[in-house]
């Protein structure tokens, strides 16, 4: 297990940490790193482009493959053009949906107030764009010079830490059901396990249930809880892609049942 964690860590170190999900792993770079370690093709990181596909092939002693194409032109380091998001602030209604969607916490603002993007923290991952109900977020080219290798690694390390902090916050929020859930379902077990074995990232503690709900559960209750959580995860995943009133009602009912089984407030 430790050798697999170490391989995943090496693969993850080569990935850009944009956490955009364009490789098909909607909850970020680490799940893709894990899947590569288990045999998935290593050419699917869109922001990484050909340099990352080549570096992964060298690390894994595999034949290099052509990187999957980006919609953006290639910049001087062989990677796709870096982008940044900007909010047209006079149109923002302060709904806060973009905050939860941003994997690196680059958006500031609170309920019913205008929101802003911290440009130097934004990776241009585009994840804040679909949840915005008034379509007031634009993508623009990053005009700063392309970072050299050492600056890029520094940036990646910082983004990784920010994503772990984001996951920890979202985990608590998900369990306590506060605010809209607009991100893909995150494999928190994987992130928690990885973070507990790596000194490079903050440890993620899983919140199985609210702290106040100290309940002694028998096996039947445990199975019941697991079943409800699985159904909830499934529906949340579907609803994060497309809104559906019927599914939303099912989700609300399941969340109510979960509260009852956990002994928390309804």
Q: Smaller CB distance to ligand SF4: residue 104 or 181?
A: 104
- Does residue 57 belong to the site contacting ligand SF4 (CB under 6 A)? no
Binding ligand SF4 by CB under 6 A: which of 85, 181, 204, 251?
A: 85
Nearest one of 104, 49, 46 to 77, comparing CA atoms: 49
CA atoms within 13 A on the CB side of 164: 22
Show contacts with ligand SF4 in window 117-176 (CB under 6 A).
117, 122-128, 131-132, 134, 136-137
- Indicate the SS3 state at residue 11: helix
In the complex, least distance from residue 132 CB atom to ligand SF4, rounded to whole angstroms: 3
Which distant-in-sequence residues (6+ apart) come within 8 Å of 163 by Cβ?
Answer: 17, 19, 28, 103, 104
Distance CA 33, CA 9 (A): 8
161, exposed or middle or buried, with CB in 10 Å at 0-12, 13-18, 19+? middle
Q: Smaller CB distance to ligand SF4: residue 137 or 186?
A: 137
Show contacts with ligand SF4 in window 93-122 (CB under 6 A).
93-98, 101-102, 104, 106-107, 109, 115, 117, 122
In the complex, least distance from residue 140 CB atom to ligand SF4, rounded to whole angstroms: 11
- Does residue 25 belong to the site contacting ligand SF4 (CB under 6 A)? yes
- Does residue 22 belong to the site contacting ligand SF4 (CB under 6 A)? yes
Asked whether the beta carbons of 127 and 103 are under 8 A apart, the reply is: yes
- 84 DSSP β-pair partners: 140
**Sequence-ordered strand ranges (E) for 61-151:** 83-87, 107-108, 116-117, 137-141
In the complex, least distance from residue 242 CB atom to ligand SF4, rounded to whole angstroms: 17
- Both structure tokens of 173: 């929020």
Site of interaction with ligand SF4 (CB under 6 A): 15-16, 18-23, 25, 28-29, 32, 45-48, 85, 87, 92-98, 101-102, 104, 106-107, 109, 115, 117, 122-128, 131-132, 134, 136-137
């Amino acid at each position: 297990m430790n050798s697999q964690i170490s391989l995943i860590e090496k693969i993850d170190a080569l990935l850009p940490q944009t956490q955009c999900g364009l490789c098909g792993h909607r909850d970020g770079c680490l799940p893709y790193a894990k899947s590569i370690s288990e045999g998935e093709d290593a050419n699917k990181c869109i922001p990484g482009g050909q340099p990352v596909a080549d570096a992964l092939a060298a690390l894994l002693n595999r034949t290099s493959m052509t990187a999957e194409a980006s919609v953006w032109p290639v910049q001087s380091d062989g990677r796709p053009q870096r982008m940044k998001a900007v909010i047209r602030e006079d149109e923002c209604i302060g709904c806060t949906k973009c905050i939860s969607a941003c994997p690196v916490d680059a958006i500031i603002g609170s309920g019913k107030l205008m929101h802003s993007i911290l440009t130097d923290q934004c990776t241009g991952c585009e994840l804040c764009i679909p949840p915005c109900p008034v379509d007031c977020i634009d993508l623009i080219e990053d005009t700063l010079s392309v970072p050299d290798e050492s600056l890029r690694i520094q940036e990646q390390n910082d983004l990784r830490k920010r994503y772990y902090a984001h996951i920890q916050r979202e985990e608590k929020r998900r369990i306590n059901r506060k605010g809209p859930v607009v991100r893909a379902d995150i494999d928190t077990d994987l992130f928690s396990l990885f973070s507990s074995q790596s000194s490079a990232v903050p440890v993620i503690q899983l919140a199985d249930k609210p702290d106040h709900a100290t309940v002694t559960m028998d096996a039947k209750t445990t199975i019941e809880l697991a079943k409800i959580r699985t159904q909830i995860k499934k529906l949340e995943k579907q609803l994060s892609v497309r809104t559906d009133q019927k599914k939303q009602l099912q989700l609300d009912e399941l969340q109510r049942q979960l509260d009852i089984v956990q002994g928390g407030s309804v």
